[in-house]
C-alpha cells in the first residue's frame, strides 16, 4: 500500500502545482483619487476611508449590499420587539479581530457606546441618536434599546461609521486598522498606496484575492496611462471623463456605468432675497436645462436627471423632473410676477470638483437668459465648508450630496439651505418612527414631492459611478449605494 | 571663515523667524476649519467642537504660536492634524522620494547642460551654436508636465519599459526605485538643463573675452584645455548660483510632476496639507523648506570659495 500512497501523493502534488500554475491571478491594484486622511471609519466623514476599509477590513452588525439593501454581517440574525424599540442581535460566534482578540457582545456595546458618547468625534453621530442603551445578554447576544422606534435603524447600523471595533485597538485604528473583515491591513506607504491581504482566519466565506493594493492616483491625466500600462487594473471611480471613449474602444477594459447616492444640486439660500421668493426659485427651475448640464458637467455625460433630492436607484424614487420643465417663457413670466423682470445680480460659489466648476459655467449662462447675472466665485473645499456650509454666506452653489438616503437634511434646523417647511418636517418626523415598508415608501414619496414643488434647490442630476477595470476582473460593484469598494466577491477570470 | 559662517547662521535664523510669523499669520487668515473638513457636511456641531478641542484649536492664537515655535526650536515638529502622526515621520517618508528625485534631476541637468553650454560657447556664432541654443530655447518653452505625459505614453504605455507612475519604495530594491524616478527626473531635468545650458554659454562667452584667456592661448595651451581649465572654472559662479536655485525648486516645487507620476513627494504633501487645512504640517514643512533653502545658499556660497581661490583668501 505504501508505494501506492506515495504515487498518489506525487500525482496529487503534480496536480496541485499544475493547477496553481494555471490558477487565476489573485492580486489586484485599484486606483483611487483621494488618499484617506487615516483609516478609522468611525472618526471621519472622508469617503476615502470607507473606500478602502468598508466590508474589507471592518464589518458592522449589518452591512449594505451592492444594491443598497441591508444584509446581515456580524449579526447573524435579529429580533425586533412588538413596539419596534428593542433590537436583539444574535452574533456570529468564533469571530476574531485581526490582532487575535475575540469579538463578542462586549465589543458591540463598546463600539456603540463609544460612537454615541459626548466626546465622540464620529462624523455621523446622528446614526446613533435613537439609541437609549445597549445591553449585553450573553457573549453572542446583544440588546439595543431605542428611545423611539426608528425605521432606518438596521440600515444605519450598516454604515461605515457604525463598524465594530475592539477596545484594545480602537485608539490606533487610524494608523493600523484592526477589524474583523476578510482582509487584514498590511501596509500604508503615505501618499502612495495602501495594501490589504487576505485574512486566513476569517469567520465567513474566504475571499478570492490574496492581496489588494489601493494606489493613489490623484491626477485625472495620470489615470489613463496607469490603466493602459497595466500598472492599475481597476478604477472603481474613473476620474478622467474625457478619456472614456478611448478606454471604451479598448477590448482589454470594461466600462461600467452605475448609480451613486450623489444628488448633485444647485443649492440655494432659501432665506436670502430674492431667493426667498418661491417664484424666483421656480423661475430658476424652469430655466435649468438638465440635458445640457448633464452633457457638460457629469463624467462622460452619464448623469441621470433628478427632480428632487432622491436617488433614481432607490425603489421609492418617483420621477419629478417634469415638475418645472425647461421653459424660458414661463420662467420670464414668473420673474415678472416676482417683480424682477429686469433681473438681478447674484453670486455662485463653486467648490473644486469638475461637476461644480463646469456645471457652474453652464448654469450661469442659462440663468442669464432670464436676466440673472451670476458672478462665479471658485472656492476650495475648506472655504466652501466655512463660508457656504457653516456661515451660510452664499446665494447659489453646486454640490453633490453623496450620503445615502439623506432627504432628512431638509428638515434640519439651520442647515445651509435655510429651508423651513413644517409640513416637510412632519413627514420626516413620521418617517423616523415608521418601520412599515409600505408606509415608509408613501412618506418618502410625499417628501420628494414637497421638495420638488417648493423648488428648494435646483435639482440637477445623480452623479454617475463610472467604473473602469480590466475585462478579466469580476465582482466589483456596479453601483455605489454607499461609498465603498467591497472586494469580498472580486476575482479574476480567464 | 568662522565669522562669515556665524553671520550667515544669524541671518538664517532671522529669516526663519520671519517666515514663521508670515506662515502662521497667513494660515490664520485663510478661511477653513480643519475639524469641519475632517468630519464633513453631515457631522453635528458637537462632534466638530469635540474634535477642535482634541486638536487644541480652541486655544488663543498667541499661545498656539508660541507653543508651536518653542516645540519647533527643540526639534519637535508636531503632529499632523489629518494623519495624526508626527510631522517629522511624514516629511521623512516624502524626503526619501523627493531628495533622490531632486538629486537625480540635478545630476541629469548638469550632465546635459555643462557640455552643451561649452559646446555652444566654443562655436559661438556658428551653426552648431545656433542649433544648440535653438534646442535649449525649445527646452525652456516646453511645459514639463507635457513632456512628462509624452514620456509616459512612449516608455510606459507603448514600450512598457518603466512603470507609468507611483513609487514602490526603496524596500523593493534599488533599481525598482530608480526606475520609478527615472522618467520624472528626465521630465524635470530637461527644462532645467535648457536654462542651465544658456547660463553656462553666456558666462563662458564673457570669460572667453578676458585677457587671461588670450594669454593662455598665446602661451600655446590647446583650445580644449583653455576651455575646460581656465574658462569653465571662471564661469562656474553664475552656473552654481542657478544650480542652487534649481535644487531648492526641485525639492518642493515639483508638485505638477509629482501629480503626473503620482509620486508621494514633498510638494504633494504640502499641497494636500494646504487643501486639508492641516495647519501643523503646512507650517512645519514650510519652515523646513526655508531652512533647506538657507542651507543650500550657504553651500553655494562655500562652493564659490572652492572654485575661486581669491574668495578664500579675501575673507
Q: What is the pLDDT of residues A332-390, one digit of tens each?
A: 999 999 999 999 999 999 998 889 999 999 999 999 999 999 999 999 888 888 889 88
Closest Cα to residue B284, out of B101, B100, B74? Answer: B74
Pair B35, B128 in one domain: no
Phi, psi of A26 (to 5 degrees): -130, 25
> Cell 481597476, residue?
A234
* Nearest C-alpha in B relative to A223: B260
Q: Give me the pLDDT at residue B299, please.
A: 87
Residue B171 forms contact with A (CB below 8 Å): no
* Choice among A72-81, A282-291, A311-320 with the minimum mean pLDDT: A311-320
Specify whether B139 is located in the same domain as B40. Answer: no
Checking if the pLDDT of A293 tops 90, the result is yes
- Whether A186 has its CB under 8 Å from any CB of chain B: the answer is no
Asked if residue B48 and residue B95 are part of one domain, the reply reads no
Q: What is the dihedral of CA B160, B164, B167, B171, to 10 degrees?
A: -10
Judged by CB atoms closer than 8 Å, whether chains meet at B30 and A175 is answered as no
Burial class of residue A377 (count of CB atoms within 10 Å of its CB; 0-12, 13-18, 19+): middle
Size of interface A-B (CB pairs under 8 A): 154
Indicate the burial class of A159 (C-beta count within 10 angstroms; 0-12, 13-18, 19 or more). buried
CA distance A260 to A312: 9
Shared-domain flag, residues B66 and B206: no
- The CATH number for A261-464, chosen from 3.40.50.720, 1.20.1330.10, 3.10.105.10, 2.170.190.11, is 3.10.105.10
Quick one: what percent of chain A has pLDDT higher than 70? Answer: 95
Mean of pLDDT values over B170-192: 90
What is the average pLDDT score of chain A?
90
Contact flag A120-B50 (C-beta cutoff 8 Å): yes
User: Given a cut of 60, is residue B258 above it in pLDDT?
Assistant: yes
Are A228 and B157 a contacting pair at CB < 8 A?
A: yes
Contact A380 B269 (CB under 8 A): no
C-alpha cell at B315: 575673507
Q: CB distance from A226 to chain B under 8 Å?
A: yes
ipTM confidence: 0.76
**Which of B39, B180, B256 is the best mutation test for A, with the most CBs of A within 10 A?**
B39
Q: Do B47 and A192 touch (CB under 8 A)?
A: no
In chain A, what are the domain boundaries? 59-162, 261-464
For the cut 70, the answer to whether the pLDDT of residue A489 exceeds it is yes
Q: Which residue of A has its CA nearest to B265?
A: A191
Confidence of residue A17 (pLDDT cuts 50, 70, 90): very low
Chain B nearest C-alpha distance from A192 (Å)? 5
Structural contact between residues A286 and A327, judged by C-beta atoms closer than 8 angstroms: yes
Dump pLDDT digits (tens) for B211-243.
Answer: 988 898 899 888 888 888 888 888 888 899 999
Q: Which residues of B119-147 are buried (b: 16+ CB within 10 A; e: fewer)?
A: bbbbeeeeeebeebbeebeebeeeebbeb
User: Is A215 close to B262, i.e. CB distance below 8 A?
Assistant: yes
Q: Which of B86, B105, B140 is the last residue of a domain?
A: B86
Which of B166, B172, B285 is most worth mutating to test chain A (most A CB atoms within 10 A of its CB)? B166
Place of cell 461644480: A356
A-chain CB neighbours of B169 within 8 Å are 189, 192
- Per-residue pLDDT of A148-178, as tens digits, reads 888 889 999 999 999 999 999 999 999 899 9
Distance CA(A106)–CA(A165), nearest Å, equals 11
* Band of pLDDT at residue B200, cut at 50, 70 and 90: very high
* 3-class SS of residue A309: coil
% of chain A residues with pLDDT over 90: 73
Q: What pLDDT sits at residue A22?
A: 52
Rounded distance between C-alpha atoms, residue A196 and residue A205, angstroms: 17
- Asked which of B70, B86, B102 is the last residue of a domain, the reply is B86
| Residue A185 C-alpha from the chain's centroid | 22
Q: Are residues B50 and B191 in the same domain?
A: no
> What are A179-226's pLDDT values in tens digits?
999 999 999 988 889 999 999 999 999 999 999 999 999 888 889 999
Q: Is the pLDDT of residue A327 over 70?
A: yes
Q: What is the predicted pLDDT for the residue at A8?
A: 47
Considering the domain A59-162 in this protein, what is its CATH number? 3.90.76.10
The enclosing domain of B159 has a CATH number of: 1.10.3720.10
A400 pLDDT higher than 50: yes
Nearest CA in chain B to A38: B83
Q: Of A393, A390, A400, A401, which Cα lies nearest the Cα of A377?
A: A393
Query: Are B111 and B22 members of one domain?
Result: no
What pLDDT, on the 0 to 100 scale, is given for residue A1?
42
Residues 74-103 on B with a CB inside 8 Å of A are: 82-85, 90, 93-94
Query: Given an 8 Å threshold on Cβ–Cβ distance, is A37 in contact with B51?
Result: no
Question: What are the backbone dihedrals phi and psi of residue A76, each rounded to the nearest 5 degrees, phi first?
Answer: -70, -40
Interface contact flag, B40 A122, Cβ < 8 Å: no
B124/B261 same-domain check = yes
Looking at the structure, tell me whether residues B71 and B114 fall in a common domain: no
pLDDT beyond 80 at A4: no
How would residue B314 be classed by pLDDT, with cut points 50, 70 and 90? low
Query: What's the rounded Cα separation, in Å, for the pair A374 and A350?
Result: 12
Quick one: pLDDT at residue B52?
85
pLDDT at residue B103 is higher than 70: yes
- Do B100 and B202 belong to one domain? yes
Exposed / middle / buried, residue A21 (Cβ in 10 Å: 0-12, 13-18, 19+): exposed
Determine, for residues B47 and A125 on separate chains, whether the beta-carbon distance falls below 8 Å.
yes
Inter-chain residue contact A192 with B166, CB threshold 8 Å? yes
Does B117 contact A at CB distance below 8 Å? Answer: no
Of the residues B86, B113, B130, which one is the last residue of a structural domain?
A: B86
Chain A CB within 8 Å of residue B165 CB: yes
- Whether A231 sits inside 8 A of B265 (CB atoms) is no
Higher pLDDT, B25 or A367: A367
Cα(A227)–Cα(A249) distance, rounded to whole angstroms?
14
Residues B50 and B167 in one domain: no
* For chain B, percent of residues with pLDDT exceeding 70: 98
C-alpha cell of B143? 511645459
Q: Are A337 and A279 in contact (CB under 8 A)?
A: yes
CB-CB under 8 Å, B269 with A38: no
Q: B57 and B133 in one domain?
A: no
Rounded Cα distance between A486 and A477, Å, is 7
Please tell me the total number of residues recorded for chain B in this structure.
315
Predicted TM-score (pTM) of the model is 0.82
Q: How many domains does chain B have?
A: 2
In terms of domains, do B5 and B67 share one? yes
Give the whole-angstrom CA distance, residue A114 versus residue A132.
Answer: 13
CA distance A126 to A98: 28
Model confidence band, residue B1 (pLDDT cutoffs 50, 70, 90): low
The model's confidence at residue A103, banded by pLDDT at 50, 70 and 90, is very high
Residues 29-68 of A with CB under 8 A from B: 35, 37-38, 44-46
Distances in whole angstroms, Cα of residue A171 to Cα of each of A39, A219, A456: 12, 32, 42
**A20 has pLDDT over 80:** no
Q: B276 CB near a chain A CB, below 8 Å?
A: yes
Lowest mean pLDDT segment, chosen from A14-28, A417-431, B185-199, B240-254: A14-28
Per DSSP, helices labelled H in chain B are 2-29, 34-39, 45-55, 61-73, 87-122, 127-141, 144-151, 174-208, 211-218, 223-225, 232-252, 255-260, 266-275, 279-307, 309-314
| pLDDT for residue A382 | 81
Interface contact flag, A383 B32, Cβ < 8 Å: yes
Domain that holds residue B71: 1-86
Amino acid at each position: 500500500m505504501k508505494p501506492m500512497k506515495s504515487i498518489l501523493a506525487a500525482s496529487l502534488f503534480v496536480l496541485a502545482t499544475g493547477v496553481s500554475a494555471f490558477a487565476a491571478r489573485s492580486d489586484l491594484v485599484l486606483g483611487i483619487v483621494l488618499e484617506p486622511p487615516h483609516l478609522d471609519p468611525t472618526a471621519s466623514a472622508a469617503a476615502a476611508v470607507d473606500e478602502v476599509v468598508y466590508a474589507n477590513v471592518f464589518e458592522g452588525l449589518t452591512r449594505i449590499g451592492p444594491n443598497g439593501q441591508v444584509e446581515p454581517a456580524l449579526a447573524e440574525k435579529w429580533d425586533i420587539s412588538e413596539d419596534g424599540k428593542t433590537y436583539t442581535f444574535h452574533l456570529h460566534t468564533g469571530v476574531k479581530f485581526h490582532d487575535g482578540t475575540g469579538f463578542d457582545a462586549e465589543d458591540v456595546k463598546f463600539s456603540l457606546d463609544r460612537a454615541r458618547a459626548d466626546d465622540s468625534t464620529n462624523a455621523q453621530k446622528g446614526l446613533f441618536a435613537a439609541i437609549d442603551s445597549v445591553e449585553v445578554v450573553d457573549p453572542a447576544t446583544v440588546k439595543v434599546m431605542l428611545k423611539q422606534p426608528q425605521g432606518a435603524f438596521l440600515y444605519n447600523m450598516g454604515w461605515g461609521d457604525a463598524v465594530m471595533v475592539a477596545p484594545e485597538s480602537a485608539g490606533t485604528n487610524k494608523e493600523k486598522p484592526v477589524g474583523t473583515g476578510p482582509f487584514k491591513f498590511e501596509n500604508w506607504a503615505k501618499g502612495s498606496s495602501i495594501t490589504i491581504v487576505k485574512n486566513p482566519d476569517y469567520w465567513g466565506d474566504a475571499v478570492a484575492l490574496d492581496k489588494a493594493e489601493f494606489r493613489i492616483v490623484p491626477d485625472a491625466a495620470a489615470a489613463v496611462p496607469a490603466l493602459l500600462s497595466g500598472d492599475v487594473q481597476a478604477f472603481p471611480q474613473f476620474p478622467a471623463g474625457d478619456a472614456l471613449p478611448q478606454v471604451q474602444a479598448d477590448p482589454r477594459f470594461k466600462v461600467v456605468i452605475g448609480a451613486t447616492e450623489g444628488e448633485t444640486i444647485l443649492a440655494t439660500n432659501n432665506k436670502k432675497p430674492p431667493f426667498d421668493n418661491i417664484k424666483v426659485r421656480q423661475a430658476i427651475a424652469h430655466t435649468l436645462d438638465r440635458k445640457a448640464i448633464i452633457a457638460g458637467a457629469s463624467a462622460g455625460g452619464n448623469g441621470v436627471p433628478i427632480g428632487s433630492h432622491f436617488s433614481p436607484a432607490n425603489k421609492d424614487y418617483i420621477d419629478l423632473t417634469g415638475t418645472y420643465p425647461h421653459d424660458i417663457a414661463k420662467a420670464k413670466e414668473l420673474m415678472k410676477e416676482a417683480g424682477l423682470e429686469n433681473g438681478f445680480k447674484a453670486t455662485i460659489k463653486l467648490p473644486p470638483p469638475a461637476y461644480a466648476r463646469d456645471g457652474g459655467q453652464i448654469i450661469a449662462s442659462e440663468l442669464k437668459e432670464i436676466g440673472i447675472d451670476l458672478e462665479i466665485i471658485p472656492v476650495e473645499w475648506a472655504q466652501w465648508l466655512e463660508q457656504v456650509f457653516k456661515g451660510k454666506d452664499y446665494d447659489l452653489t453646486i454640490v453633490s450630496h453623496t450620503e445615502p438616503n439623506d432627504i432628512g437634511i431638509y428638515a434640519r434646523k439651520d442647515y445651509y439651505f435655510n429651508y423651513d417647511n413644517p409640513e416637510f418636517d412632519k413627514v420626516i418626523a413620521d418617517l423616523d418612527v415608521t418601520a412599515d415598508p409600505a408606509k415608509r415608501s408613501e412618506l418618502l414619496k410625499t417628501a420628494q414631492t414637497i421638495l420638488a414643488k417648493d423648488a428648494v434647490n435646483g435639482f440637477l442630476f445623480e452623479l454617475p459611478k463610472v467604473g473602469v477595470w480590466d475585462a478579466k476582473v469580476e465582482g466589483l460593484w456596479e453601483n455605489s449605494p454607499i461609498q465603498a469598494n467591497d472586494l469580498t466577491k472580486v476575482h479574476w477570470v480567464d | 571663515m568662522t565669522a562669515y559662517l556665524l553671520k550667515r547662521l544669524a541671518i538664517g535664523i532671522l529669516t526663519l523667524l520671519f517666515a514663521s510669523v508670515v506662515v502662521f499669520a497667513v494660515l490664520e487668515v485663510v478661511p477653513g476649519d480643519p475639524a469641519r473638513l475632517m468630519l464633513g457636511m453631515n457631522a453635528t456641531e458637537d462632534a466638530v467642537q469635540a474634535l477642535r478641542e482634541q486638536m487644541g484649536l480652541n486655544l488663543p492664537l498667541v499661545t498656539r504660536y508660541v507653543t508651536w515655535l518653542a516645540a519647533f526650536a527643540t526639534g519637535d515638529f508636531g503632529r499632523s492634524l489629518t494623519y495624526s502622526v508626527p510631522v517629522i515621520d511624514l516629511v521623512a517618508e516624502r524626503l526619501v522620494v523627493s531628495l533622490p528625485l531632486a538629486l537625480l534631476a540635478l545630476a541629469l541637468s548638469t550632465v546635459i547642460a555643462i557640455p552643451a553650454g561649452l559646446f555652444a560657447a566654443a562655436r559661438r556664432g556658428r551653426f552648431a551654436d545656433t542649433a544648440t541654443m535653438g534646442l535649449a530655447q525649445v527646452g525652456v518653452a516646453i511645459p514639463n508636465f507635457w513632456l512628462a505625459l509624452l514620456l509616459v505614453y512612449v516608455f510606459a504605455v507603448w514600450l512598457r519599459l518603466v512603470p507609468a507612475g507611483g513609487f514602490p519604495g526603496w524596500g523593493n530594491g534599488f533599481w525598482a526605485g530608480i526606475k520609478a524616478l527615472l522618467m520624472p527626473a528626465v521630465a524635470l531635468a530637461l527644462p532645467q538643463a535648457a536654462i542651465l545650458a544658456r547660463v553656462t554659454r553666456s558666462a563662458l562667452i564673457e570669460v572667453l573675452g578676458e585677457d587671461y584667456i588670450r594669454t593662455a592661448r598665446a602661451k600655446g595651451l590647446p583650445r580644449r584645455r583653455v576651455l575646460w581649465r581656465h574658462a569653465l572654472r571662471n564661469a562656474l559662479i553664475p552656473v552654481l548660483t542657478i544650480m542652487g536655485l534649481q535644487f531648492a525648486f526641485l525639492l518642493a516645487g515639483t508638485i505638477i510632476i509629482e501629480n503626473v507620476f503620482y509620486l508621494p513627494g514633498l510638494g504633494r504633501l504640502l499641497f494636500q496639507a494646504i487643501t486639508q487645512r492641516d495647519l501643523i504640517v503646512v507650517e512645519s514643512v514650510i519652515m523646513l523648506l526655508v531652512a533647506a533653502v538657507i542651507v543650500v545658499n550657504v553651500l553655494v556660497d562655500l562652493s564659490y570659495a572652492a572654485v575661486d581661490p581669491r574668495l578664500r583668501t579675501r575673507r
